[in-house]
């Protein structure tokens, strides 16, 4: 698959780069960013953390605001940051910030006019990792993390692909689209009115369906700011914690007084998330 490098900057001994490629899954050109730590060589391939950003974001927000490169370089971990939706003049959009471009919700749309391009679940879970592993000095050890809508994506993709991801984390995630306005709007447009079809994109519902021994499933780490304006109406992390406790799933939920929904929050705790994933990626 052909790629074009758009940017490259040295950072903490590694390289922060941006690429564009033709996505067969999304039927459009897509951009992604990748940080390669100094340890990454053809002789020494490194594991990868996939970071999924939230509403209105692109691949660049985390690169510029999270400050993750220093710890990634120290740990010897690559970070891959896809865009949040399909892009291009022929990709359908909406005037609202929470639908269309910048708001792909990491699902496979089934409804027109969205279905042609909005297949972000398959892109993140399968097409992009295959591209990364074929073209960069990385191995097949993967973890996944994200923020807000991206936290929703990390949780649902990680839970549904447990053998493919060693660990899952999220900042301020949308844990249950079935129980919040953002989720109802997006899933109605992308998937239709039948809420039975929404369940596979709802982390709480996925958690409830888990049976048997959970000790070998990817552990989950969630951090939530208590000054987050979206906490009560949209995020509701207690729903995920309750569901996880019912099935004895390995989960850690941390709350932080005074922190909001912004990248100031993410930058404050990103090192802890990278260290969490490193413990499982380097097992």
163 closest CA partner among 217, 107, 120, 127: 217
Q: Which of these is catalytic: 152, 261, 273, 277?
A: 261
**Cβ atoms < 10 Å from Cβ of 281:** 22
Alpha carbons 108 and 113: distance in angstroms, whole number: 13
Catalytic residue among 11, 23, 148, 176: 148
d(CA 52, CA 35): 14
194 annotated active-site: no
Active-site residue, selected from the candidate residues 85, 152, 228, 273: 228
Q: 151, 201 in Cβ contact below 8 A?
A: no
E strand residue ranges, 54-156: 78-82, 138-147
Residue 148 among the catalytic residues: yes
Tell me the C-alpha distance between 104 and 190, whole Å.
9
Place of tokens 């490098």: 5
Active site residue 147: no
Tokens 């799933």: give the residue.
249
Looking at residue 8, the DSSP 8-state letter turns out to be: E
Q: Which residues are catalytic?
A: 148, 228, 261
């Amino acid at each position: 698959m052909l790629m074009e490098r758009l940017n490259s900057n040295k950072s903490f001994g590694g390289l922060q780069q941006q690429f564009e490629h033709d996505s067969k899954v999304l039927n459009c050109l897509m951009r992604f960013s990748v940080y390669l730590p100094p340890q990454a060589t053809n002789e020494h391939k490194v594991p990868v953390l996939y970071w999924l950003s939230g509403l209105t974001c692109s691949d660049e927000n985390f690169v510029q605001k999270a400050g993750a490169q220093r710890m990634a370089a120290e740990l010897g971990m690559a970070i891959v940051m896809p865009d949040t939706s399909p892009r291009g003049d022929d990709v359908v959009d909406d005037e609202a910030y929470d639908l269309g471009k910048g708001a792909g919700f990491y699902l496979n749309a089934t409804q027109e006019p969205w279905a042609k391009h909005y297949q972000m679940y398959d892109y993140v879970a399968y097409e992009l990792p295959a591209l990364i592993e074929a073209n960069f000095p990385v191995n097949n050890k993967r973890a996944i993390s994200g923020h807000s809508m991206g936290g929703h994506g990390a949780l649902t993709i990680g839970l549904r692909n447990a053998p493919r991801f060693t660990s899952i984390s999220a900042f301020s995630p949308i844990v249950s689209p079935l129980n919040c306005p953002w989720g109802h709007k997006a899933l109605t447009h992308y998937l239709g009115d039948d809420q039975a079809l929404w369940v596979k994109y709802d982390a709480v519902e996925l958690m409830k369906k888990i049976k048997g021994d959970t000790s070998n499933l990817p552990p989950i780490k969630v951090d939530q700011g208590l000054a987050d304006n979206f906490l009560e109406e949209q995020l509701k992390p207690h729903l995920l914690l309750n569901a996880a406790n019912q099935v004895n799933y390995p989960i850690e939920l941390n709350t932080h007084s005074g922190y909001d929904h912004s990248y100031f929050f993410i930058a404050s705790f990103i090192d802890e998330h990278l260290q969490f994933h490193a413990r499982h990626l380097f097992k």
